[in-house]
């Protein structure tokens, strides 16, 4: 029998003989817990290994093995001829779990991010980003079915046959140089932006660019104009950086700069999607662009231009980007390959105005974990070899076709049920609901029948008075679009009855 106080404690050790963990590991873990929780105090003698083995019904080797491990960890010490003792080092103050409080616990203090997100979003789970797979009418996904897989795989294997040192080491902090050059070239030729590779910073998708810009430019509580309705990911990213988002309404020309100036003349940042508003699809007029640039210049504010799907303009000649008419140097242009290639690449970039280049350099050097070099290298080569430009041209035709299929099917099936607005660009459009029918009910019922539609409310910082559905048409073929419109028509008729 073990005689000491600790001995009684040790006898209650629970060893599971059926477990896949060895008995000596279990014993070691259990002894460690007893010692660390104060069950045995510093200097207290442990039972002799022979006694403990006998009492626990295990072999002496098992006990010795557990003791040796605890000696190695410094928790117990063996003194020749005297026995085994709990280490004196444990006399020092050590972290103990706080005693359990029985009465109602005090409200938990939320970390800064949780507080900010709750304040901005409440319990509005609809505003969280969703997992996406192709289907009618999923937004945010490009046409994965038409991606030139063969070319891409050829470049992937070519890359992995290059010099090990080039392929396997840490990447460059601002991004892989040839990709920065290729992007700068693409922006100059296709998006009318005068820029140099040094201004480009590669990020993990546009989302990381928003987070980065927010962390660089915002102090907690700074006012940031935000399109209402607007882009969910950017909203979440800026909120996480402490932005006090000011919802600014949208009309047929884009963000209402006059309202923004009334609500928050001293804004620090404005977030806009001028080439194709997310989610309403409006293209910002040139007048509005100039008004926004002027307002930012006066307030010494910065503008984030999110050009997420502006490449896919099929209605008319694309308007230039906001960046291309930015004579003030206030626009930070953000691009992504999530639409123009595919989202799992997680590749995006920001184009910094000259005044912020050294700030972004310092920050990315210090904090950015970087983006996998292999993906950057393959993307760079895809652009350099001309596949990217060809792919974009081809996708413009395909998206025009899919958009037309949606408008035609809606014209035939949804008249009086949903007013689908044609768009001139991008991979989604909106349909407006007649009064008296809830967009949330439509979305929920449609989901039950295998159709995804996003209520506009999901994109709204505060109610907009616009009731409708965001309809993605990019990821599915015309036949699936027509079938989806049929199901949606049925859903709407059922709900109206």
Ligand X SMILES: Cc1ncc(COP(=O)(O)O)c(C=O)c1O
Q: Does 205 bind ligand X (CB under 6 A)?
A: yes
Query: Please, which residue, 51 or 475, has the CB nearer to ligand X?
Result: 475
Q: Does 63 bind ligand X (CB under 6 A)?
A: no
What are the E-state strand segments in 368-422? Answer: 419-420
Letters for 5-24 (x = contact with ligand X by CB under 6 A, - = none) are: --------------------
**Least distance in angstroms from the C-beta of 231 to ligand X:** 3
Sheet holding 331-336, edge to edge: 200-203, 348-351, 331-336, 302-306, 269-272, 223-228, 244-251, 254-255
**Least distance in angstroms from the C-beta of 98 to ligand X:** 40
Q: Which of 40, 140, 179, 331 binds ligand X (CB under 6 A)?
A: 140
The CA dihedral of 114, 117, 120, 126, to the nearest 10 degrees, is -130
Q: Does 424 bind ligand X (CB under 6 A)?
A: no
Q: Does 426 bind ligand X (CB under 6 A)?
A: no
CB 351 within 8 A of CB 206: no
Letters for 94-133 (x = contact with ligand X by CB under 6 A, - = none) are: ----------------------------------------
- What are the structure tokens assigned to 376, written together? 């950057």
Measured in degrees and rounded to the nearest 5, phi and psi for residue 90 equal -80, 0
Query: Please, which residue, 58 or 347, has the CB nearer to ligand X?
Result: 347
| Coil vs helix vs strand at 160 | helix
* CA dist list (Å): 293 to 62, 305, 332, 367: 75, 11, 12, 30
What distance in Å separates the CA atoms of residue 279 and residue 273, rounded to the nearest whole number? 9
**Least distance in angstroms from the C-beta of 187 to ligand X:** 16
**Number of Cβ within a 10 Å radius of residue 23:** 19
Q: Does 273 bind ligand X (CB under 6 A)?
A: yes
Closest by CA position to 155, among listed 388, 379, 392? 379
Closest by CA position to 139, among listed 400, 403, 454, 486? 454
Query: Please, which residue, 210 or 302, has the CB nearer to ligand X?
Result: 210
**Least distance in angstroms from the C-beta of 137 to ligand X:** 14
Query: Please, which residue, 228 or 338, has the CB nearer to ligand X?
Result: 338
Site for ligand X in 214-253 (CB under 6 A): 231, 233
CB 450 within 8 A of CB 417: no
Q: Which of 51, 199, 336, 467 binds ligand X (CB under 6 A)?
A: 336
Q: Does 348 bind ligand X (CB under 6 A)?
A: yes
Closest by CA position to 9, among listed 37, 19, 68? 37
Q: Which of 242, 343, 372, 486 binds ligand X (CB under 6 A)?
A: 343
Q: Does 338 bind ligand X (CB under 6 A)?
A: yes
Stretch that binds ligand X, among 108-116, 204-212, 358-366, 403-411 (CB under 6 A): 204-212
Query: Please, which residue, 442 or 470, has the CB nearer to ligand X?
Result: 470
Closest by CA position to 349, among listed 141, 179, 123? 179
Tell me which H or E stretch contains 358. Answer: helix 357-367
| Coil vs helix vs strand at 284 | coil
CB 187 within 8 A of CB 312: no
**Least distance in angstroms from the C-beta of 314 to ligand X:** 18
**Least distance in angstroms from the C-beta of 311 to ligand X:** 13
Instruction: Name, in order, each residue with C-beta under 8 angstroms of 195's C-beta and a sequence gap of 6 or more.
Output: 184, 187, 188, 323, 351
Q: Which residue is nearest to ligand X (CB)?
A: 205
Q: Does 308 bind ligand X (CB under 6 A)?
A: yes
**Least distance in angstroms from the C-beta of 470 to ligand X:** 10
Stretch that binds ligand X, among 53-61, 201-209, 355-363, 391-399 (CB under 6 A): 201-209
Q: Does 278 bind ligand X (CB under 6 A)?
A: yes
Number of residues located near ligand X, criterion CB under 6 A: 14
**Vertex 104, ends 99 and 108: CA angle to 5°?**
80
Stretch that binds ligand X, among 212-220, 314-322, 336-344, 457-465 (CB under 6 A): 336-344
Positions that interact with ligand X (CB under 6 A): 140, 205-207, 231, 233, 273, 278, 306, 308, 336, 338, 343, 348
């Amino acid at each position: 029998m073990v005689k000491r106080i600790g001995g009684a404690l040790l006898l209650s050790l629970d060893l599971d003989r059926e477990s896949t963990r060895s008995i000596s590991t279990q014993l070691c873990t259990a002894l460690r817990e007893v010692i660390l929780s104060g069950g045995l105090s510093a200097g207290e003698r442990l039972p002799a290994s022979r006694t403990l083995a006998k009492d626990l019904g295990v072999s002496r080797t098992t006990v010795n093995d557990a003791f040796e491990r605890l000696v190695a960890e410094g928790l117990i010490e063996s003194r020749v001829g005297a026995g085994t003792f709990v280490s004196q080092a444990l006399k020092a103050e050590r972290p103990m779990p706080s005693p359990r409080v029985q009465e109602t616990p005090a409200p938990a203090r939320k970390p800064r991010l949780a507080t900010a997100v709750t304040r901005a979003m409440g319990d509005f789970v609809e505003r969280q980003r969703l997992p996406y797979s192709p289907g009618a009418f999923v937004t945010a996904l490009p046409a994965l079915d038409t991606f030139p897989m063969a070319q891409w795989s050829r470049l992937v294997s070519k890359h992995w046959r290059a010099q090990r040192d080039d392929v396997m080491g840490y990447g460059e902090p601002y991004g892989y140089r040839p990709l920065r050059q290729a992007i700068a070239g693409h922006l100059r030729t296709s998006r009318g932006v005068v820029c140099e590779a040094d201004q480009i910073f590669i990020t993990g998708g546009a989302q990381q660019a928003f987070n980065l810009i927010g962390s660089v430019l915002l102090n907690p509580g700074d006012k940031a104009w935000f399109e209402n309705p607007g882009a969910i990911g950017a909203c979440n990213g800026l909120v996480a950086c402490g932005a006090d988002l000011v919802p600014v309404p949208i009309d047929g020309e884009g963000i209402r700069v006059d309202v923004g100036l009334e609500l928050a003349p001293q804004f620090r940042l404005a977030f806009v999607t001028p080439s194709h508003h997310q989610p309403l699809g409006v293209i910002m007029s040139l007048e509005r662009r100039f008004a926004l640039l002027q307002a930012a210049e006066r307030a010494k504010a910065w503008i984030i231009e999110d050009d997420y799907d502006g490449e896919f303009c099929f209605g008319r000649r694309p308007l230039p980007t906001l960046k291309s008419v930015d004579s003030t140097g206030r626009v930070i242009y953000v691009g992504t390959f999530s639409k123009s290639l595919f989202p799992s690449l997680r590749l995006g970039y920001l184009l910094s105005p000259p005044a912020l280049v050294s700030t972004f350099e310092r920050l990315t050097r210090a904090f950015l974990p970087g983006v996998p070099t292999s993906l950057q290298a393959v993307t760079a080569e895809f652009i350099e070899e001309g596949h990217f430009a060809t792919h974009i041209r081809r996708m413009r035709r395909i998206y025009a076709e899919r958009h037309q299929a949606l408008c035609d099917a809606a014209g035939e099936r949804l008249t009086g049920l949903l007013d689908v607005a044609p768009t001139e660009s991008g991979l989604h459009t909106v349909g407006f609901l007649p009064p008296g029918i809830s967009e949330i009910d439509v979305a929920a019922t449609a989901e039950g029948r295998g159709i995804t539609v996003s209520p506009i409310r999901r994109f709204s910082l505060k109610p907009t008075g616009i009731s409708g559905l965001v309809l993605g048409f990019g990821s599915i073929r015309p036949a699936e679009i027509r079938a989806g419109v049929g199901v949606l028509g049925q859903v709407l008729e059922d709900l109206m009855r």
